[in-house]
Structure 1
């Protein structure tokens, strides 16, 4: 085996391990593949198909009226609390919602911009039970790219659209990442990663053709003190909205569009 073949084999083995973990995370009992409904709430207390109780969105938060026999249990930071009467929940815009359990089903109460909604997560959802994996391009070394991060003097608040018309997401941009692909210099606005590092969300020439139209994202490690950072486009992932109609994903920041076809990472789910 040549040195080049060994490098390709090491890259593929590392990618295989990463991708298996990624698919395992997607298929957890209450992960994104388990979504079966997205129900927007109104000020009028209303019954929701398949759920007990009455649900409404008020200026004070989401109100749930139910009796103990309905079996609705709110997950709190202290201990689970069964609803017997009226409970008011206060989800935060843009963050994971407050969870209400109903047997094996989990109801996520979320706030998006100035509206509230319920997301129902059922382990028996067909999208989860029928999941066979995420199609992806073969890992190639050409898509492991050196880059340079230039931090803004201060983080910048930005607003982006969502896949749901009329919704916005409010994000924090921390700088710009520059790199070369196919002999051209490109740049992307970077957001902070969930567990450190950077997050890059963008569209490219494959978007809407072989990859999800709303763009994909890739995470990096923390840049070095001199700003150098490596981007492994082989680890581009779909956002949840590529797998379900019941997500409210952000779209990429304005300008985060590459003219090249990044034939790496996850493809359109089958």
Structure 2
């Protein structure tokens, strides 16, 4: 029998999840976010023009270049760019954002390749976006796990949704937990999260390709406490940009990060990919 205190705690848990999910959806609708990406161009030594970005673009041993026509202009950090401009050699996973009118032109390096990714606020994928379906929040999927750090970070090579592309990330350790679905103990390779001390795991499970996006889902894990305990809340498992658009270069989960049970929590297949409300 559910007590009044348990009912209150569940209501609070649901409220916090709803606030988190609403914030996640707002970030998706950023005018220059991933839903605004109109194309993905792989630069090479031959200068090329593209219909959704000004200038002629190429890459060389000394980095990325653009040649703008007399009637074309970009802006970097609010300063106008005309004629020929040298972006230099970009570090792996770095991005530089130039503006062109109402558009943003992302210049980036992914998997050792220089790319150009224009972002236009009127892109139909962004314009028509409504929401991402998700499982109803369930406290039973908020697990207590244990962080197992490595003595030294280990480089981990993973594939990507783009064929032939690979990413290399340093892993500081693993996260161990017990799944309610099978009662078994599992470990996932973790990467460093965006916030200091936080961790990030990429994973698939038995729902992948059925009710959740086939390639991957992402879960941010707050920093471990003094005893190494972590909260692994699968209710907050999110889709990466590749779940919505083929113009992303998202990493795939490391080998071993496939859970055998169905994790019926978190975000589901986007409506744009045929997901159900």
Q: TM-score range, shorter-chain basis?
A: over 0.9
Please state how far the C-alpha of 1:85 moved relative to its aligned partner.
2.0
Separation in 1, partners of 2:220, 2:70: 44
CA contact (8 A) 2:200 2:220 kept: yes
Give the unaligned 5+ runs of structure 1.
none
Give the unaligned 5+ runs of structure 2.
272-277
* Aligned position for 1:35: 37
* Aligned position for 2:102: 104
TM-score, scaled relative to structure 1: 0.94
Secondary structure of 2:51's counterpart equals coil
CA contact (8 A) 1:68 1:82 kept: no
* Aligned position for 2:86: 88
CA contact (8 A) 1:220 1:229 kept: yes
1:176 aligns with 2:174: yes
Separation in 1, partners of 2:52, 2:215: 30
Match of 2:56 among 51, 54, 57: 54
- After TM superposition, which residue ranges in structure 1, 4 or more long, deviate above 3 angstroms? none
Separation in 2, partners of 1:215, 1:114: 22
* Aligned position for 2:187: 187
CA contact (8 A) 1:67 1:83 kept: no
1:134-185 CA distance string (max 9 Å, x none) = 1000000110101011100011111111110111111110111111113111
1:20 aligns with 2:19: no
Please state how far the C-alpha of 1:68 moved relative to its aligned partner.
5.2
CA contact (8 A) 2:54 2:100 kept: no
CA contact (8 A) 1:237 1:265 kept: yes
1:95-133 CA distance string (max 9 Å, x none) = 3x1112110100101112232111111111111111111
Q: What's the C-alpha RMSD, in Å, of the aligned pairs?
A: 1.3
Aligned residues: 265
Match of 1:157 among 146, 155, 158: 155
1:260 aligns with 2:256: no
1:216 aligns with 2:217: yes
CA contact (8 A) 1:135 1:266 kept: yes
TM-score, scaled relative to structure 2: 0.92
* Aligned position for 2:13: 11
